[in-house]
Amino acid sequence: MTILRQKMINAMKLRGFSESTQECYVNAVAGLAKYYNQSPDRIGKEQVQDYLLHLAEQRKLSWSTCNIVASALRFFYVQVLADESRKLWIPPRKRQQKLPMILSRQEMDRLFNAPGNRKHRVLLMTAYAAGLRVSELVHLKVEDIQSGRMMIRVRQGKGRKDRDTILSPRLLSALRTYWKQYRPPEWLFPGNQTDLPMQRDTAGRIYTKAKLAAGIRREGGIHTLRHCFATHLLEAGVDLRTIQMLMGHRSILSTMRYMQVTSKHLQEVRSPLDLLGLPGSKTEP
């Protein structure tokens, strides 16, 4: 590891950046250095601006992705190298609001039956049953499964906050069978090295492989399971405030967007076309 990279990582740790943010920022600076085949501290301001333009116009990356790269480069030059002239800025744009893709219960059953590996199957079941982010999923420890309370303790989730979420009896049964087979010592889903947790990318690949094997062609990665958790709870009549607490949303507005994708809610709304078929109406079908 270079001295510059270590210096940047130390600066981020001092400011309490999450591991995912640290990784994202380091990769952004490394991408700049690779593009010019030069150490980032020797790259000029105009070159940095040209690189951002390249990401937007040539590589067609989204505005939000370019903004993250700009934030990472701004942090590196201003905070790490103390170069105030590198205050990069991208004009704000309205973010695209895309509704999450939701799997049906039949698709969920096919998804969970697809993996031949018990560990992979239980991993996906846990993500859905508890509504976990992938970073929370892979950092679960055996002791976080609190069967006496029928709760799962999520440690240091987004915003560095602990929370509890529900433990499904069906999931608990699957976890017990899984534990008897694999005996994970600390991390519930360890990686190749049992003293380390599974990588997030590995969990994502497990989901994608299972989705294809189940014949599901919908877009979206493993985070889809978290969306399904919230939507299916809402369709089952669970109130928004409870779902907000289970998911660890800071704002109820984040939870409310699932109102837009609940089939039960939408099915209760009658189309104005149906209203034209009332008794006495002369409208022909």
Length in residues, the chain:
285
To which residue do tokens 């079908």 refer? 285
CB 131 within 8 A of CB 226: yes
Question: Which pLDDT value is given to residue 20?
Answer: 83
For 42-90, write each residue's pLDDT tens digit: 998 889 889 988 998 899 888 778 888 988 998 999 889 888 766 665 5
pTM over cut 0.85? no
- pLDDT above 70 (res 261): no
- Inform me whether the pLDDT recorded for 11 exceeds 80: yes
Tell me what the pLDDT averaged over the chain comes to: 86
**For the chain, which residues make up each domain, given as ranges?**
3-86, 105-267
Q: How many CB atoms lie within 10 A of CB 92?
A: 8
For position 266, what pLDDT does the model report? Answer: 56
Instruction: Tell me which fold the domain 3-86 belongs to.
Output: DNA polymerase; domain 1 (1.10.150)
- CATH assignment of 105-267? 1.10.443.10
- CA 67, CA 86: separation in Å to the nearest integer? 15
| The two structure tokens encoding residue 268 | 């209760």
- Active centre residues (catalytic): 133, 158, 223, 226, 249, 258
Query: How do residues 145-198 score in pLDDT, each as one tens digit?
Result: 999 999 999 987 676 788 999 999 999 999 999 999 999 999 999 998 889 999
Q: Residue 191 burial by CB count (10 A; 0-12/13-18/19+): exposed, middle or buried?
A: middle
